[in-house]
Amino acid sequence: MSSPRRLVVALAYDNLCLFEFAVAAELFGLDRAEIDVDWYDFQVVSVADGPFRSLGGVEVSSKGSIDLLDSAHTIIIPGWSDRESRPPQDLLDKLVAANTRGARLVSICSGVFLLAATGLLDGAKATTHWRYVDELTSMYPAIDVRPDVLYVDNGNLLTSAGSAAGIDLGLHLIRLDYGPEIANEVARRMVVPAHRDGGQAQFISQPVSFDDEGAIGRTLEWSLGRLGSPLTVAEMARHAQMSERTFARRFVEATGSTPHRWLTTQRVQRARDLLEMTSLSIDRVAREAGFGSAANLRHHFSQELRTTPTRYRSTFSSTQSVPR
């Protein structure tokens, strides 16, 4: 595992999106004395002369110079409120130069608009909050906007969806730098899941009957305990006491996903957990996760994660050494 990228710099500016900024500070700036690793050095850079206004009358000031971007390993761009105006050219130049030398540029929510203005995302995949997807697509048609995911990792260019998805992306970075056990420990301290399944569809407002939501919820819980068995959508529908057609329709209304897609996602997640935290053979992992065979597991890993189970394990296994 490569050494962690130590200096993390978050941008601060007028009309600062305080939640996204706080996500960066919590993930990378909080003292992690309980974790025996050399943690990140977190700094804040002022885009212009402060103090800066934020939501609720809060003011934020920072002594960090924009020149800190010249040595940053990771640069965090919180939500960018002025989406229609051209960002300062000196800031754009700094970001391009940082990316050229190998620094990671990470946007949260509408922060992608600042990142997009650099031109670095042209031809690349990116995401943002579902409310801004059409606007981003219209302003930057060269970007391959993915509206259905929580975050996109292009190597040194990473973008997340709505505000809380910044936590998912931050934990992903910690996982890359320090391994799954450390990322899981940070997630536990924040009282959030280390992995969140699904994309943004589950957060788009949809009318859901409380009665149906209860039946679907009970069936989801029941199904999670049976992932290793040859569970079918027909069996799930019978548990919910619905016809298959009604169950499929109400399942999509409640979760934003089809039952078959949800089952596959849960099984992939179960396989990921087993590959990270156990030394079970690939064949055994496939059976325990409900895929039946290693070939079927490899197929779904390729479809979902663009990698193989063996490569995934070599990258994220908790048996890998953690950098000190």
Kindly report whether the global pTM for this prediction surpasses the value 0.75. no
What confidence score (pLDDT) does residue 199 get?
A: 56
What is the topology classification, in CATH, of domain 261-316?
A: Arc Repressor Mutant, subunit A (1.10.10)
Average pLDDT over residues 179-199: 76
Beta bridge partners of 10: 44, 76
Structure-block tokens of residue 288: 């325990």
Same CATH topology for 7-190 and 261-316: the answer is no
pLDDT value at 282 more than 70 = yes
What confidence score (pLDDT) does residue 54 get?
A: 77
What percentage of residues in the chain have a pLDDT greater than 90?
Answer: 40
Structure-block tokens of residue 90: 């000196």
What confidence score (pLDDT) does residue 1 get?
A: 38
Rounded CA-CA distance 27/31 in Å is 10
Average pLDDT over residues 114-136: 93
**If you average pLDDT over every residue of the chain, what do you get?**
84
Domain boundaries, the chain: 7-190, 206-256, 261-316
What confidence score (pLDDT) does residue 142 get?
A: 96
What confidence score (pLDDT) does residue 318 get?
A: 56
What confidence score (pLDDT) does residue 251 get?
A: 86
pLDDT for 62-107, tens place per residue?
777 888 999 999 999 998 877 878 888 999 999 999 999 999 999 9
Cα–Cα distances in angstroms (integers) from residue 259 to residues 15, 69, 236, 240, 247, in the given order? 42, 46, 8, 12, 9
pLDDT for 192-230, tens place per residue?
766 665 555 434 433 333 334 578 888 888 888 888 888
pLDDT value at 159 more than 80 = yes
What confidence score (pLDDT) does residue 91 get?
A: 92
Average pLDDT over residues 12-32: 88
CATH assignment of 7-190?
3.40.50.880
**Residue appearing with tokens 């296994």:** 317
3-state secondary structure the chain: CCCCCCEEEEEECCCECHHHHHHHHHHHHCCCCCCCCCCCEEEEEECCCCCEEEHHHCEECCCCCHHHHHCCCEEEECCCCCCCCCCCHHHHHHHHHHHHCCCEEEECHHHHHHHHHCCCCCCCEECCCHHHHHHHHHHCCCCEECCCCCEEECCCEEEECCCCHHHHHHHHHHHHHHCHHHHHHHHHHHCCCCCCCCCHHHHCCCCCCHHHHHHHHHHHHHHHCCCCCCCCHHHHHHHCCCCHHHHHHHHHHHHCCCHHHHHHHHHHHHHHHHHHHCCCCHHHHHHHCCCCCHHHHHHHHHHHHCCCHHHHHHHHCCCCCCCC
AA identity, residue 214: G
What confidence score (pLDDT) does residue 195 get?
A: 65
pLDDT value at 16 more than 50 = yes
